Chains A and B, each alone.
Chain A
Amino acid sequence: MRIELLYYPECPSHERTLELIREALALEGKQAEICVIRIDTQEQADAHRFIGSPTIRINGHELQPQPHLPYRLTCRAFLHEDGRISPIPSLTMLREALRTAEGG
């Protein structure tokens, strides 16, 4: 399994997100190559189809894609299962995504 974590360093969400990804992997008993990709410029955001930080792709599938949003350098939001809007994904969302990922 390959997980990409794309982040914009001016947004403070990525470190906690990386912790959550590792926690979710441990809880699910899965291993993955985690590729952390820093996005600094609009050109990089366009090239990586980056709608905000953090963006997580598991085997190429984006967690909670929001195709209506433009590619840009900012923080992004995640809608949690309890209806809360947060700058980071929930552990539950990550575990569910790991379970359903192909090759997991």
Chain B
Amino acid sequence: MEIGQSAYDFELPGVDGKRYSLKDFADKPVLVLFFWCNHCPYVKAYEDRVIQLAREFSDRVAFVAINSNDPTQYPEDSFENMKKRAEEKGYPFPYLFDETQAVARAYKASRTPEFFVFDEERDLKYHGRFDDNWEHPEQVRHEYVRDAIRSLLEGDIPHVSQVPPIGCTIKWKH
């Protein structure tokens, strides 16, 4: 998906029993949509950081996690296990299951985690990794997603619009 393109709509089930589409997040000026899963250690490395950021901006930014992995190959990523993980960690955002993988394909997502930050018109303004140091949170120098959110909330364009995502590949169905 290219910078400037509009967000693709979807209708996906969440672990809370509700179904979600873009209109459910229309009250927030910024949307952070990210591809996520249970099994990937890079997701686990970033999990607490993403939860913290979502809580910090909960009044003005919608965070939405989507798992598109094939659970037949990766049972940890099944809908039931998604529910368990969200409950264990107290996810402050909807965790949605893209069973057909159509949403991942529409967004041309390839990794978990992979972040897409949209402005109020739901045009893509940042795409890529969360920050510049998955290994050592205390050594992060550039918080790409946080910076993009701040810029958009201040009416600016993010200084950095794309950084290649780092993590596990999305597990496509054969």
Listed in ascending order, the chain A residues whose CB lies under 8 Å from chain B are 10-13, 16, 72, 74-78, 84-88
Contact = CB atoms under 8 A, between A and B. Distances in A.
B135 A85 contact: no
B153 interface: no
B73 interface: yes
Interface in B22-44: 39-42, 44
B40 A75 contact: yes
Contacts of B152: none
Given A76-B41, A88-B135, 10 more contacts: A12-B167, A72-B73, A74-B39, A74-B74, A75-B42, A77-B44, A78-B41, A86-B45, A87-B41, A87-B134
Contacts of A84: 45
Contacts of A75: 40-42, 167-168
Interface residues of B, number: 15
A10 B169 contact: yes
Nearest to B169: A10
A85 B40 contact: no
5 contacts: A11-B168, A11-B169, A85-B41, A87-B45, A87-B134
Contacts of B168: 11, 74-75
Interface of B is mostly: loop
Interface of B: 39-42, 44-45, 73-74, 134-135, 166-169, 171
A87 B135 CA distance: 9
B71 to A, nearest CB: 13
A51 to B, nearest CB: 11
For the complex of A and B, 9 pairs with smallest distance between CB atoms: A77-B41, A87-B41, A85-B44, A75-B168, A10-B169, A75-B41, A87-B42, A74-B168, A12-B166
A4 B40 CA distance: 22
A74 B40 contact: yes
B49 to A, nearest CB: 12
Contact of B41 (A10, A72, A86): A86
Contacts of B166: 12
A19 to B, nearest CB: 11
Contacts of B42: 75, 87
A78 B74 CA distance: 17
